[in-house]
Amino acid sequence: MKVGFIGLGTMGLPMANHLLKNGFELTVYNRTKEKMNFLTEQGAMVANSPKEVTLKSDIVFTMLTADAAVEEVILGENGIIYGAHPGLIVVDSSTISPVTSKKLAVELSKHDIDMLDAPVSGSEPQANEGILTFMVGGKKENFEKCMPLFLAMGKNAYHVGENGKGSYTKLANNTMTAINLLSLTEGITMAAKAGIDPEIFVKIVNGGGARSGQAEMKAPKMINRDFTPQFMTQLIHKDLGLASDVAKELEISTPILSLVKEIFQIAKAKGYGSEDMSSVIKCYEEWASIKVEKVNEEI
């Protein structure tokens, strides 16, 4: 099976590398060409455009940051659509609007290209370890055909319905991720303000009903002041905007989503957009006039 991969950023690079490690013939393209060097050293072939990737591949993955970038790669000049050939499947793992996912699937179908929207649950650590979870919208038979590729990059893959359903699922998931992160942030700020060692607090949280993936992954980054991005603040804010659009489309009330989106907007405005989303703790620290850090207490 010949595989193409377009978009070698924080998530795309390790995902593509796992495909190579699992023996798939891989052709890659990235706008910043230096990001392709590592994969070429591992045996990947390089293309000069998305069209060229497509001409050399049976299945093409895209992993990009926003709707406009995905549309450009698929429909733009020298895009995927111009490399169309019988049997091609395009798998978009970006987090984008379900409206865009469905639109692109329709446009590709006019050229006899099938598409899956297959965003992932997990961030950089899970991508590096190859333990992502894929949520996939599109034809069931294409999902099954791509399953070996999903399991090369992740631990689980679930078919959730027709085109667009993968994107709906991802935005619902990211809504919960953001809410859980702020619940951790408020709790750990309260504990720190009371003089409790945040490391001990997090151990208690992880042993009870308040435990969450965000407490497990992001509390150490907060306590150690490590805001190098695994998932940038500006990206979670973008996703919450897309989730808000979905809420309007579905005519559902999401008051917590609205508040959480505004808090991440504040974090962006304070200059934390390119830092990890856990940097939102710095807003809470400012409001509480404290710093979340270890307590060195001698007894």
CATH number of 2-161: 3.40.50.720
Radius of gyration of the chain (CA): 20
Q: What is the pLDDT of residue 297?
A: 55
Directed axis angle between helix 12-21 and helix 140-153, to 10°?
A: 90
Q: Which of 165, 170, 268, 282 is catalytic?
A: 170
Candidates 3.40.50.970, 1.10.1040.10, 3.30.70.360, 1.10.3720.10; correct CATH number of 168-288?
Answer: 1.10.1040.10
Amino acid identity for residue 128 in this structure: N
Joined together, the tokens standing for residue 87 give: 């049997």
Q: Which residues lie below 8 Å from residue 32, measured CB to CB, with a gap of 6+?
A: none
Q: Does the active-site annotation cover 170?
A: yes
Which segments in the chain show pLDDT lower than 70?
296-299
The three-class DSSP label of residue 192 is helix
Query: What pLDDT does residue 299 have?
Result: 42
Specify the pTM.
0.94
Domain ranges of the chain: 2-161, 168-288
Provide the pLDDT for residue 293: 87
- What Cα–Cα distance (Å) separates residue 100 from each residue in 130, 140, 235, 242? 27, 20, 17, 11
What does the alpha-carbon distance between residue 190 and residue 176 come to, in Å, rounded to a whole number? 21
